Amino acid sequence: MPWDSTGQEEIYVWCDYFGDEEKAKQTVDAVKAYTPSIPNWGYNGAARRYFDSAVYGKREVMGRLFGHYGSPLNAIPLLQSYKEHHSDDLYLLKVGYAASTSALTTINQDGFGSMGYLANPDIMDFEPYTGDYGQSFYGYMHEAGQFVHFDPQAGWLSFGGEVEDNGNMILTMKPTDAFHKRLFVHGEETDFEIISETVPIKDVVYDFANDKIFVNFSEPKVAPRNLRIRTSENVRPTENGQMVRGAYEFDPLARQLTFKIK
C-alpha cells in the first residue's frame, strides 16, 4: 500500500523470476500509482513517506519526505520492467529514472546522506539523521547507468548521459551517471545492454546501419585483473573474449572493444 512504500522491489523480482506475470504487473502498477512524474525536484519520482522522521529521526515530526529510500528501491521494479518487458514505455523510464536518482538529492557537499528532505512548510530542511540512507544509495546503485531511448516523436532521448546523432546512422553516447558502467539502448528496431564490471565506460558509438557497437573505456584509477563485460543476449564481441561467470573477459589494457548485434 502507498503508506509504507517499501518491499515492492523484492515482490517484483521474485514474481518476475518465477513467471508470475500478473503479480509482477500488479506490483509495477502499484508503484506507478503513488510515484508521480512532476517537474519538481522533490516530488518527481518520490514515493509517499511521512513517518520516518517521527519514528527514528532527530526532528521527530510527521511530514512528507523527499528523497526517501523507498523511491530508489521502487525504481528497481520500474526500470527492470522497462528494460525486460516494456522498453517502448517512455513514461515508465521517466518515472523510474526520477525515482532512482532521487537518492542523490539528499547528499550534502560533505558527503552526508540524509534520510530525506522534510517538505513541511515550517521546516523545509533535511533530516539530520542518515537513517536508512544506505538502502537508498543501494537502490540508485542497482540501476545506475545511461538509458538511451528512441521516441518516434522526440527522436533520441538520454537519461544519465549525453547522446549525439552524428548522421549516417551513427550514434555517440557518453555516460554521466555516478559510475559510468551501464548502458541500455532502446532503438527503433532493437534493444541492447552493456555493463562493464571493472573499467568505466568513456563513450559508446552505435553504428546501427551495420549493427556494430564500439565501446571506449576510460583509464582506470586501479588496474583490474581483467576487463569484464556483461551484455544482453543479442550482443556478442567480435574479439576473442572468454566467458567467465556470466561476463566476457578481455585484456585489462584494452581501451576499445567492438560488439556485434546478432
* Nearest C-alpha neighbor of 57 from the set 1, 133, 110: 133
- Taking only the tens place, the pLDDT of each residue in 28-68 is 999 999 999 999 999 999 988 888 899 989 999 998 999 99
| Cα 107 from chain centre | 18
Entry field: residues in the chain: 262
Q: What is the pTM of this model?
A: 0.94
Q: Which three cell numbers stand for residue 14?
A: 521474485
Q: What is the pLDDT of the chain when averaged over all its residues?
A: 94
Q: Which three cell numbers stand for residue 11?
A: 515482490
Name the residue with cell 521546516: 123
Q: What is the 3-state secondary structure (H, E, C) of 89-100?
A: CHHHHHHHHHHH
Percent of the chain scored above 70 by pLDDT?
98
What confidence score (pLDDT) does residue 48 get?
82
Q: Is pLDDT at 70 greater than 80 in this prediction?
A: yes
| Cα 129 from chain centre | 26
- Taking only the tens place, the pLDDT of each residue in 164-220 is 998 889 999 999 999 999 999 999 999 999 999 999 999 999 999 999 999 999 999
